[in-house]
A and B are shown apart, each in its own frame.
Chain A
Amino acid sequence: MSNVLVCIKRVPDLGGEISLTADAMAVDDSSLGHTVSPHEDCAVELAIQVAKDTGGTATVLTLGSSDAVEQLRNALALGCTAAVLVEADAGAFGPADVAAAIADVVRAHEAAGTSYDLVLLGNDASDTGDFQVGVRLSYLLDRPVVTGVSTLSVSGDRVDVRGSSPDGGTEIFDVALPAVLTVSEGGVEPRYPSIPGRMKAKKIAVEEVVPTHEPAGPGRRRLKLPPLQPSQVEVLGEGPAAAGAVVDLLEKLGVVR
C-alpha cells in the first residue's frame, strides 16, 4: 500500500498574447482561465494509478490562493482521495519557499500518522519554469529524487522509474521508498473526470493549511515581454494554386531532395 502526495500549481491558461500587470510583476490573468501544467496532469495520473494498484491513497496538494481549490477539486474528480490547500500568495513564494511549505505539510501529516512513500511533482511549472522545487524538497526531507520521470512502478519498498536519457533513449532508476519524483509529460495519458467522480469530489473536505515560515520570495525584479516583431510574412498564395510557388521556395531553400 503506497500513499502518494502529488503537488500541483494553478497557472493561467495561456492561449494567445500575454499581457502583464501594471507593475510588471505578474501576468494579467484577469481575463484568462486557469489550469495546471501538462507535467502535473501526468503526475496526478501516476499518483492515482499507484494508489489504485497498491490499495493506497493519493493526496493532492497545492500552494496558492483559495481559487486554487478549483484545481484540487479537478484532481479529486479524477480519483485523488484527499486534498490540501496551503493558502498563500504563490507569487510571493520562490521555489525554495514552496519546497519548505510542502516539507512542512509532509512532516505534519507524518506526525499525525500519514506518511508518504512517494511525493510527485511536475518537472517544472508552465509559468515560472524553475526546475527545482522537487529537488529542493528532497533535500529538506532527505529523500532520493529523480527528475523528468515518465513512468514508474512501485513494488514493495522500491520504485522502478523511467525517463528520457540525453541521447533519446530511456534511463531506468531503481530507488528505495520514500522518494521524491518530478514528472514530465509523455509517459502516461491523463484521464478525464467522470460525472460520479465530480460528484464524489464535491463531498471531500479540503484541508486548509497556513504556511508558517516567512517566504524569501522568488527574487523577481520584473517581467518583460519581447518586443512585438512586425509581421514580415510573404503570402505565397491561396489554396492549391500556390503549390508551384511553394515548390519554387523549397528549391530556393535547397531542401528538395
Chain B
Amino acid sequence: MSPATHAAVLVLVETDGGGATEVSRETLTFVRGLDADVHALVVGDGPSGLVDQLGAYGVSVVHHADGDAFTSYAAAAWAAAVVAAVGDATVVTAAGTPRGNEVLAHVACRLGVTMAANVVEVDSTSPLVVSRQVLGGSALEEIALTDGVAVFSVAGHACDPAEAETSTTPVVHPIDVAVSDADLRARVVRTEPGEPDESGGLKAARVVVGAGRGAGGADGFADLLELTELLDASLGVSRVVTSLGWRPHHEQVGQTGSRVSPDLYVACGISGAIQHWAGMSSSKTILAINTDPDAPMVTKAHYAVIGDLHEIVPAINEELRRRRS
C-alpha cells in the first residue's frame, strides 16, 4: 500500500431505520480509494448496530453529535458538528443527496474552502483532483481541491457499496458542538408524511414503466397504467409529461425528478434526453418502445420495440394476461 496521502477523511453519514443509507455506504466505499483513515460523523440518534456496520465499512473513528440542537434538522447545526469533528481530516465528504450537498455547502463556507458537488472519480490525490458530474450527468468537470480541507460530495452510484476487506472496531467519540442561535434559525419545525403514492415507491420499484410525450395526453395513460399494474411496477414520466400537467411531478424521473435504478425500465415514447437519462441510466435493463429507431433512448437501450406505444402496450398487456390465465 502506498503511504497515506491524507491523514484522515471524514464522512458525514446519513441514516435511516436500517443503518447507514445506501448512498452513505457508497460514499464510505468511495473514500477508501483515498487511502486514508476513514472517520464517520453521525448526528442525532444512530440506529442500533450502526457502529458495527460502520466498522464493517472500515471506519476507524465514529464521531457522534447528539443533543437538543439535533432533535430536528437544521443544516447549519449539522455543519457546526462537521466542523467540530474535522480534527486532522483533510477531506470532508458526504453523499450527494439534498441533505449531503446542503450541509457540505455550509461546511465549505465555515471553513472558507471550495466545495465540489457530485464527485464520481478521484483523478489524483496529490494534489487532489476530482471529476464531478455536470450538465445533468452528461459531462464531467475536472476540478482541483487544493484548499487546506477538501470538501466534496459523492454522486449516487459513483460506486457500489462494499464492505472493507478487513473490518475495524471503531472508537466512538462523542463530540461537543457549539451550536449558536443563528445555526438554528432555519430548523425543521414539523414534518408531514408523504402521500402513500409519492416518489418513495417509484425510487424503490424493481420495475418502472416510463412514459413520455408519446403517451399523447392526460388520457393516454390507461394502457400504460395497466402494464404498470400487471408488472407490479411504478409509473415514471418525463418532464414534458409533468410540465403539460398530464401526470403529477412526483412521478417525474430525471435530473429534476427522481433517480431510479430498477431491474427493468420500460421507456415508452420517451426520447432519452440527457436530463431524463440522468434519472434512469443506472437501470439494469432498459427496454425502449418508440416510433423512432434513432431516438437516443432506443440506441442506448438494451432492447427495443419500434412502433406506436398505443398499439404495442395493449398487445403486451394482452399477452401478459393470456399467459397468466
Query: Are A and B co-members of a single complex?
Result: yes
- Interface residues of chain A, those whose CB is within 8 Å of chain B, are 14-16, 18, 20, 27, 37-39, 94-96, 123-124, 126-132, 135-136, 139, 142, 144-148, 164-176, 179, 184-186, 189, 218-226, 229, 231-247, 249-251, 253-257
Known: A179-B186, A255-B264. 4 other contacts (CB 8 A): A128-B134, A144-B186, A235-B305, A246-B312
Complex: how many Å from CA A13 to CA B269?
Answer: 21
Please tell me which one of the listed residues B185, B191, B199 contacts residue A171 in the complex, with CB atoms under 8 A apart: B191
Residues of B participating in the A interface, judged by any CB pair closer than 8 Å: 14, 16, 21, 73, 75, 97-99, 101-102, 105-106, 108-110, 114-118, 129, 131-136, 138-145, 153, 182, 185-194, 198-200, 203, 206-207, 230-233, 239, 243, 245, 249-250, 252, 255-257, 263-264, 273-275, 285, 287-288, 293, 296, 298-308, 311-312, 314-316, 318-320, 323-324
B274 contacts which chain A residues (CB < 8 A)? 14, 16, 18
Q: Is the CB of A240 within 8 A of B311?
A: yes
Q: B315 → chain A, closest Cβ, in Å?
A: 4
3 nearest A-B pairs in the assembled complex, by CB-CB distance? A168-B200, A240-B315, A144-B185
17 contacts between A and B (CB under 8 A): A18-B138, A27-B139, A96-B114, A129-B134, A132-B108, A147-B75, A147-B98, A166-B97, A168-B194, A168-B199, A172-B191, A173-B189, A239-B307, A247-B319, A253-B264, A254-B263, A256-B323
Q: Are A231 and B300 in contact (CB under 8 A)?
A: yes
A237 to chain B, nearest CB (A): 6
B231 touches A131 (CB 8 A): no
Within the complex, the shortest CB–CB distance from A166 to chain B, in Å, comes to 6
Q: Is the CB of A224 within 8 A of B200?
A: no
Question: Complex: how many Å from CA A185 to CA B98?
Answer: 13
A223 engages B139 (CB within 8 Å): yes
Are B273 and A135 in contact, with the CB atoms below 8 A? Answer: no
The reply to whether B102 and A147 contact each other, CB–CB distance below 8 Å, is: yes
Q: Given contacts A169-B192, A172-B190, are A238 and B305 in contact (CB under 8 A)?
A: yes
Contact A247 B316 (CB under 8 A): yes
Complex-state Cα separation, A132 to B111, whole angstroms: 14
On whether A243 and B304 interact (CB within 8 A), knowing A16-B273, A18-B139, A171-B191, the answer reads no
Q: Which of A189, A232, A257 contacts B245 (CB 8 A)?
A: A189
